[in-house]
A and B are shown apart, each in its own frame.
Chain A
Amino acid sequence: MKRRSFVSALAVAASIAAIGTSSTSFAQQKTVKVGILHSLSGTMAISETVLKDTVLMAIDEINAKGGVMGAKIEPVVVDPASNWPLFAEKARQLLTQDKVAVVFGCWTSVSRKSVLPVFEELNGLLFYPVQYEGEEISKNVFYTGAAPNQQAIPAVEYLMSKDGGAAKRWVLLGTDYVYPRTTNKILRAFLKSKGVADADIMEEYTPFGHSDYQTIIAKIKKFSAEGKKTAVVSTINGDSNVPFYKELGNQGLKATDVPVVAFSVGEEELRGVDTKPLVGHLAAWNYFMSIKAPANDAFTKKWGSYAKTKNIAGHKEKPLTNDPMEATYIGMYMWKQAVEKAKSFDVDKVRVAMAGQTFTAPSGITSTMDAKNHHLHNAVFIGEVKADGQFNVVWKTKGPVKAQPWSPFIPGNDKKKDEPALMADKKS
Chain B
Amino acid sequence: MRSGKTRAALAALFTCLSFSSWALDRAQLEKLASDDNDEKIAAIAALVAEGDPKAADVLRQAAEGEIELDGKKVEIVVNNRVRGRIAEALSVLKLLSSNSSERLEAAKALAGGADEAMLPLILKAKEKETDAEIKALLEMTAAGTQIKSEDKATRLAAIRTLGESANPNAKALLVEAAGDADAEVKSEARRSLGAVEARLVWGEWLGLAFAGVSLGSILLLAALGLAITYGLMGVINMAHGELIMIGAYTTYVVQNFFRGTGFFDWYLLAAVPASFVAAALAGMALERSVIRWLYGRPLETLLATWGISLVLIQAVRTLFGAQNVQVENPAFMSGGIQVLSNVVLPWSRVWIIVFAGLVLFLVYFLLTRTRLGLYIRGVTQNRDMAACVGVPTARIDTWAFGLGSGIAGLAGCALSQLGNVGPDLGQGYIVDSFLVVVFGGVGQLAGTVYAALTLGFANKLLESWSGAVLAKIALLVFIIIFIQRRPQGLFALKGRALEA
Contacts and interface: CB of A to CB of B under 8 A. Distances in A.
A28 interface: no
Nearest to A277: B335
Interface string B461-476: 0011001110010000
How many A residues touch the partner, as a band?
35 or more
B324 interface: yes
B469 A206 contact: yes
Interface string A213-243: 0111011011011111000000000010011
Contact of B468 (A46, A210, A222, A255): A210
Contacts of B346: 247, 250-251
Contacts of B349: 214, 250
B42 interface: no
Given A204-B467, A210-B468, A215-B464, A246 B323 contact: no
Given A239-B420, A250-B347, A225 B168 contact: yes
A250 B210 CA distance: 14
A41 B322 contact: yes
Given A207-B468, A251-B346, A394-B77, A215 B211 contact: yes
Contact of B80 (A41, A204, A255, A271): A255
Nearest to B415: A211
A280 B83 CA distance: 8
Contacts of B83: 255-256, 279-280
Contacts of B392: none
Contacts of B210: 214
A282 B79 CA distance: 10
How many B residues touch the partner, as a band?
35 or more
A327 interface: no
B492 to A, nearest CB: 30
Interface string B162-187: 00000011011001100000000000
A291 B348 CA distance: 35
Contacts of B324: 45-46, 239, 242
B463 to A, nearest CB: 5
Contacts of A70: none
A359 interface: no
A392 interface: yes
A210 B428 CA distance: 10
Label chain B's interface by main secondary structure. Answer: helix
Contact of B420 (A40, A49, A243, A394): A243
A374 to B, nearest CB: 31
Interface string B443-482: 0000000000000000010011001110010000000000
B208 interface: yes
A278 to B, nearest CB: 12
B77 A392 contact: yes
Contact of B79 (A215, A216, A226, A394): A394
Interface string A373-413: 00000000000100000001111000000000000000000
A243 B342 contact: no
Interface of A: 40-43, 45-46, 49, 79, 162-165, 176, 204-207, 209-212, 214-216, 218-219, 221-222, 224-228, 239, 242-243, 246-247, 249-252, 255-257, 259, 271-272, 274, 277, 279-280, 282, 313, 384, 392-395
Given A211-B419, A224-B172, A246-B348, 10 more contacts: A46-B420, A207-B469, A214-B210, A218-B208, A226-B172, A247-B346, A252-B336, A279-B83, A282-B80, A384-B80
14 contacts: A42-B424, A206-B468, A207-B472, A214-B207, A214-B460, A221-B168, A224-B172, A225-B200, A256-B87, A274-B334, A277-B334, A282-B80, A392-B78, A394-B79
